[in-house]
Structure 1
Amino acid sequence: MTGNIHPTAIVEAGAQLHPTVTVGAYSLIGPHVKIGAGTKVGPHCVIEGHTTIGESNKFYQFSSIGAHNQDMKYAGEPTQLVIGDRNVIREFCTFNIGTVQDKGVTTIGSDNWIMAYVHVAHDSVIGNHNVLANGVTLAGHVEIGDWVTVGGLSGILQRMRIGSQAMIGFQAHVAMDVPPFMTVDGNPLAARAVNLIGLKRRNFSDERIASIRQIYKLLYRQGLTLDEAIQQIDALGGEDAVLMRDFLATAKRGIVR
């Protein structure tokens, strides 16, 4: 090891690495990569493309970060991948750059726990404090909020949205939007209940949980149309009702019912 860069690693000219970045054996860092302070890149990783990585991330071995997207229309445009701070990325993960047909950037926030073999396709947006278990696959243009847990071997189709504080069960097939606070699973996917365990772990008050349970009843247990449910949820008031109302009002491909 020479400084923080293993002698077998290749850091191409033009790459911008903070002096505290560690790069393990046989890893490759491309010329357009920027990596912030304290980030650790394990052995046998490839980080390429126009990729910007924040501080104190940990990349385990054999990950492919910032490679060309898998969109057949891609023609080599300098699209981007942007990753925040304090993420843990385990073995064999693949994160792709964006496309010019969308926003041109794939975005991963901060404080995420991303387990082995997770694929994040082009133009996806992942928020903060999420857990993606082993083998989760995100197709292009997927949006995930904050504090979401996605169970292992789950597949999320293109342009699906997962609301904040939701829980997706093991081996789920996500082909519709998942509203905030819900627990869903199965194939076909079905809403089961409010994500009570997750909310309690994050110290939601009893009053707030009761309000969210009322939102769940309006959406799933009263036989209301979606428009009727949105109106009644809006009438409840409060930040969680506003979050749910706004999510439902912008659902273009239907929600899990």
Structure 2
Amino acid sequence: MIHPQAIIDSSAELAGDVTVGPFSVIGPNVTVDAGTYIGPHVVIEGPTRIGRDNRILQFASLGSDPQDKKYRGEPTELVIGDRNLIRESVTINRGTLNGNGRTLIGDDNLLMAYIHIAHDCRIGNNTIFSNNASLAGHVHIDDWVILSGFTLVHQFCSIGAHAFTGMGSAIAKDVPPYMIVSGNPAHPHGINKEGLKRRGFSPEQISQLRRAYKLLYRQGLTLDDALAELTVLATTEPAIRPLLDFLQKDVRRSIIR
């Protein structure tokens, strides 16, 4: 399963059924679990841990040093979960000590061509990153987020679950769950109704979230006043709770409004 023209460091640990294509280089302190396919011309540097049943295609570069001038060669790592599809020329950097030393990629994510994920990012599960989307350092992406092509996310920003970004969006503030945002700079354009339908949200839940969106964005309320209204609403409309939790955690930061 290892092509004779691949270069595998003696300290790398690969499960017995891992496939590695020609001209790929796997460095020291790399662990790859069962069922993972690594195509040709892939470079994986360590410390990096890769889970089960991933597909990593040509010219991807995983686990390289963070692009951070403060980095001085400290032992940091990249951790990738299970069943991710990592397409051509994707780059993912390891963490820094300022970010707990770890870049994390969850499970069942689709990372299309030319994606860049910088140091200390945390990516959840079931996300889709379209071609050329890029994350600066310390970005948090929750489950089921979709980033359209050429989306750019500023460092330290968070994007909540089930959010959707339009093509070419420039995001410099946090994006609450369920929202559609687009533009440069990005602005809100309603809730991700079609995405929520596909994931099994009921018409009643979607109606609750549309009501929450209007409170947050269409009634001229301050953020504090909107939070107070949403707190009351969440007691009888449970679909709003994840949105409220995100906003309460985020209250000292700036959200897209």
Shorter-chain TM-score range: over 0.9
Q: Which amino acid aligns with 2:246?
A: F
**2:240 maps to which residue?**
241
Does 2:152 match 1:155?
A: yes
Distance 1:169 1:51, change over 3 A: same
C-alpha separation between the residues in 2 aligned to 1:49 and 1:5? 19
Q: How does 1:169-248 map to 2 (within 5 A)?
A: 169-237=166-234, 238-248=237-247
Task: Report deviation, 1:130.
Answer: 0.3
Which letter does structure 2 place at the counterpart of 1:253? Answer: R
Instruction: Write the letter of the residue equivalent to 1:42.
Output: G
Match of 1:177, as an amino acid?
Answer: D
Q: 2:36 maps to which residue?
A: 39
CA contact (8 A) 1:6 1:24 kept: yes
Is 1:254 the counterpart of 2:254 in the alignment? yes
Name 1:25's counterpart in structure 2.
Answer: 22
SS of the aligned residue for 1:129 comes to coil
Q: Tell me the number of residue pairs that the alignment of Structure 1 and Structure 2 aligns.
A: 254
Structure 1 residue 162: Cα displacement: 0.2
Deviation at 1:250, TM superposition (A): 2.1
- C-alpha distance in structure 2 between counterparts of 1:93 and 1:239, whole Å: 38
Question: Partner of 1:60 in structure 2?
Answer: 57
Q: Distance in 2 between matches of 1:7 and 1:239?
A: 56
Query: 1:71-98, CA deviations, whole angstroms, 9 ceiling, x for partnerless residues?
Result: 0011111101000000000000000000
- Structure 2 residue 88 is matched with structure 1 residue 91: yes
Distance 2:7 2:26 in 1: 6
TM-score of the aligned structures, taking structure 2 as reference length: 0.97
Separation in structure 2 between the aligned mates of residue 248 and residue 103 of structure 1, nearest angstrom? 23
Say which SS state the counterpart of residue 65 (structure 1) adopts: strand
Q: What residue number does 1:82 align with?
A: 79
Q: Is the 8 A contact 1:27 1:46 kept in 2?
A: yes
In 2, the alpha carbon distance for the partners of 1:204 and 1:103 equals 35
Instruction: Report the Cα distance in structure 1 between the residues aligned to 2:37 and 2:111, rounded to whole angstroms.
Output: 15
Q: Aligned-residue CA RMSD in angstroms?
A: 0.8
Q: Is 121-130 or 226-235 further displaced after alignment?
A: 226-235
CA distance in 2, matches of 1:215, 1:49: 44
5+ residue gaps in structure 2?
none
Paired residues of 1:30 and 1:47 also in contact (CA < 8 A): yes
The CA deviation at 1:223 is: 0.9
Code of the aligned partner of 2:127? N
C-alpha distance in structure 1 between counterparts of 2:253 and 2:204, whole Å: 32
Q: Residue 101 of structure 1 aligns to a residue in which SS?
A: helix
TM-score, normalised on structure 1?
0.97
Return the offset for 1:30. 1.0
Change (3 A) 1:134 1:217: same
Q: Secondary structure at the match of 1:81?
A: strand
In the alignment, is residue 12 of structure 1 matched against residue 5 of structure 2? no
Over the matched positions of the two proteins, sequence identity in percent amounts to 51
SS of match in other structure, 2:97: coil
- Structure 1 distance, partners of 2:107, 2:94, is 17
Matched residue of 2:99: which SS?
Answer: coil
